[in-house]
Structure 1
Amino acid sequence: MDQSAGSDPDLAGLARGHDLQPIMAGIIAAFVGFAGVFTVVLQGSMAVGATREQAASGLLAICVGQALLSVILSRRYRMPIIIAWSTPGSVLLAATGMVDGGFPAAIGAYMVTGVLIIATGLIKPFGRLVASIPTVLASAMLAGILLGLCLAPAKAVAAEPLLALPVILAWAIVGRIKKIWAVPAAVATAILTIALHMPPGGHTLPSLAPYITFVVPSLSVQAVISIAIPLFIVTMASQNLPGIAVLKINGYDPPLRPIFVGTGIASILVAPFAGHTLNLAAITAALCAGPDAHPHPSRRWIASVSGSITYVILGLGATTAAALMTIAPPVLIQAATGLALFGAFGGALAGAVSSPTDRDAAMVTFVTAASGLSFFGIGAAFWGLVAGGALMLLNRRWRR
């Protein structure tokens, strides 16, 4: 697809005349992307040992990091290259929990993940090795990780029906009108419900000013195996590959080496500030890369820039978001988080069962990753991939 405005002055003028359209598309994409899953990011950080302040710092660091990288890549290559946090990675962190060495070891694992992403861009054999990981197993691992969180809305209704039902109803009703706004509506309803049920004087909010903290990383073998390797796999399989597909579907040829090297370096830089992996966006990229963002492909990169600015503004409210999470009933936050992940869970489950010949191996990966088992301090996500891979190899050799 031609990605320039062309030599026709009329066409170039028409393209520039619609520039308000990509600006609005970027703002909407950023709002939807942030409001839909910021609770997942905060929960993931706190699960591996971050304090509320550190979780807020990580969210702000990620927003700034992805914004700067999105602007640099989009302006350089004149295409809507949207960088985002790894939502599946946050889910993985929430399911993994604390590792030996605490939060500093988790930070070290984030940095190892960044190194692996850089290696994917620089070392072709390593990139081919990553690409050879069966999609059905990566999808099954992600589905297993997501299962527990996606059960949270039902559990919340059983535990606190008066708090959880309005959130679920908002998600269901708004989703029938405009699906993309369903999760933001659920999050907004959860925040309103928290405010309405907060006893007068029952909580004193801390300072809500933007907060940045620095964590000295440490290395732990358990953290590398339990966090870094699964985080790298789910980021590549569930974020980068779909993000590449979105750009290609819309006629772009994304420069993979600069994207991987850039996101890897950015992931390493934000890690000491408690932020985890950065990668290509998929869902928000679809909002900015298609014809709805701009009739001419050469001007859609503007959506990436406006979305990046919006992400920084939203990230400045990370301290407020983290404070609300500590005040709110846990079941309510879990319900909003589970609703935000329904789409990802459905997509992962569909991918896991897409190959009839490998379905048994995918189901072994799924149930093992969902089980929460741990051997030698290594979490279930890694063992699910090992168990499913072993069965897939056995099945294929047996068929031969």
Structure 2
Amino acid sequence: MTETPGPMPPAQTVSTGFVVAIVGFFSSFPILLQGMDAMGADHDQAASGLMAAALSMGIAGIFLSLWTKKPVSVAWSTPGAALLAVSATPQFGFEAAVGAFLIAGFMTVLAGIVRPIGRAIALIPGPLAQAMLSGVLLSICVVPFQAAAQDPWMALPIIATWFAISRINRLVAVPATVLMAALMVLFSTGFAVPLPDAPFTQLVVVRPVFTLDATLGIALPLFIVTMATQNIPGLAVMRSYGYAPAPGPLLSAVGGASMISGLLGAPATCLAAITAAMCSNEDSHPNPALRYWSAAMAGLFYCLLGIFAAIITTFAAAAPPLLLGTLAGIALLGVFASSALAAFDDAEYREAAAITFLITASGVSVFGLSAAVWGLIGGGIVQIVKRRSAG
């Protein structure tokens, strides 16, 4: 007998939601912290930003899934956080970064309302978008191996844990690596990690400062990389499993959530791609009509994890040098490998993708535009010239 949608989540979707939240949160929170640190956030602002990011994707995921009755999985923008981690701290510090977060969120709202904007981002060739992402990730993913040379007793156990567990189950490899890192922090401090005065995180409202440099150097590339590598693929993943919600309201919703959470220090909320597949496939629930509960329950667990963000950031602050960078690099190795493969797999775009990758990885910033934007421009010009020459 086939189950029909009801007011209570089936047990299988609760367990799926829990696994999704553990994977989604612990696989990428180190890079989110690194991104906020690069933007100039202090400890309290980073804790607030982590909590706001978790609450934003949790509440948005619950609302959108229950509203559409489809497994709409929501995440923070890991590629966007990686972009921030390799960007220079803007003038006026974290306040200017928060202003850029709000502008990027507003651009996403507009992309949901003004369809040509979303279509324009969708026109960016996939190989170039993936080359941009892999270029951003390169400097982050080499950190574990640089750390292995500088501090092998710190780096090698983390790398070995990831490698060993990924041979058994790739989904739990990064959370297991996070657990190993936490144990190493405890041992390095003699089990004397100072805990925050209150177990629950305090939200900190950041007064935004809007500057042209931050708009061009942070907001624009954050919007582009999040749309091209998260929102658009997230919609595509849902469609591949037979779910076709109207994209406009979803984009406007995550854009609005980004603007609200941005005031609290969170970079960007977006539609998920990887966890969308976890919520949408048959392992989520045999009945496709009930799989939306998996995304909704993941949202609930994200919110619960976010409440204790202060404890997580305290552990991160007590970590030995390079540990957080090692953890972030390991967590993003899979994303780097898949993005690099997608960038260079199509021979037609290979040269343009190489230019995009190299410019982005160089970290150059000219006229206020970041390397990621220049990478797309350079790769796009090469591809246009190549096509016209061939024609």
Cα shift at 1:215: 0.6
Match of residue 217, structure 1, among 174, 183, 208: 208
| SS at 1:334 equivalent | helix
- 2:283 aligned with 1:301: no
Cα 1:262/1:16, change in 2 over 3 Å:
closer
Which residue of 1 is the match for residue 280 of structure 2?
A: 289
Tell whether 2:13 aligns with 1:36.
no
Root mean square deviation, CA, Å: 1.8
- 1:381 is aligned to 2:372: yes
Aligned partners of 1:206, 1:77: CA distance in 2, in Å?
39
Contact 2:55–2:302 (CA<8 Å) still a contact in 1? yes
Query: What is the letter of the counterpart of residue 30 of structure 2?
Result: T
Instruction: Identify which of 224, 227, 244 aligns with 1:233.
Output: 224
Q: Which moved more, 1:77-86 or 1:317-326?
A: 317-326
Instruction: Report what 1:343 is aligned to.
Output: 334
| Equivalent in the alignment of 1:372 | 363
Q: Cα distance, 1:209 vs. partner?
A: 3.2
Q: Counterpart of 1:277 in structure 2: which amino acid?
A: A
Question: Matched residues in 2 for 1:265 and 1:189: separation?
Answer: 36
Structure 1 position 70 matched with structure 2 position 61: yes
Shift of 1:299: 0.7
Describe how 1:1-400 pairs up with structure 2 within 5 A.
10-12=1-3, 19-199=10-190, 204-207=194-197, 208-400=199-391
Does the 8 Å contact 1:99/1:377 carry over to 2? no
Does the 8 Å contact 2:234/2:273 carry over to 1?
A: yes
Pick closer, same or farther for the CA change 1:97–1:318 going to 2, 3 Å: farther
Task: String of CA shifts for 1:109-129, please: whole Å, max 9, x gaps.
Answer: 111111111111111222221
The CA deviation at 1:205 is: 4.1
Q: Quote the offset at 1:15 in angstroms.
A: 9.0
Aligned length: 390
Distance 2:66 2:365 in 1: 45
Counterpart secondary structure, 2:207: coil
Which runs of 5 or more structure 1 residues have no equivalent in the other structure? 1-9
Paired residue type of 2:259: I
Q: What fraction of aligned residue pairs are identical, expressed as a percent?
A: 38
Q: Distance in 2 between matches of 1:141 and 1:241?
A: 15
Q: Deviations 1:217-269 (Å, cap 9, x if unpaired)?
A: 11111111111111111111111122112211211112211101101111111
Letter in 2 for 1:32: V
Task: Specify every segment of 5 or more residues in structure 2 that has no aligned partner in the other structure, as ranges.
Answer: none
- Structure 1, 124-133 or 231-240: larger mean CA deviation: 124-133
State the alpha-carbon separation in 2 of the partners of residues 278 and 302 from structure 1.
Answer: 20
Look up the equivalent residue of 1:381 and give its one-letter code.
A
Whole-angstrom CA distance in 2 between matches of 1:209 and 1:222: 35
Q: With structure 2 as the length reference, what TM-score do the two structures score? A: 0.96
Measure how far apart 1:52 and its partner are: 1.4
- 1:226–1:381 contact (8 Å) kept in structure 2: no
SS at match of 1:364: helix
Q: 1:199 to 1:131 in 2, by over 3 A?
A: same
C-alpha distance after superposition, 1:281-317 (max 9, x if no partner): 1111211111101100111111112111111111112
Post-superposition shift, 1:204? Answer: 4.1
> In 1, are the aligned partners of 2:59 and 2:303 still within 8 Å (CA)?
no
**1:349 is aligned with what amino acid?**
A
Supply the distance in 2 between the matched residues of 1:385 and 1:100 (Cα, whole angstroms).
Answer: 24
| Cα contact 2:54–2:303 (8 A) shared by 1 | yes
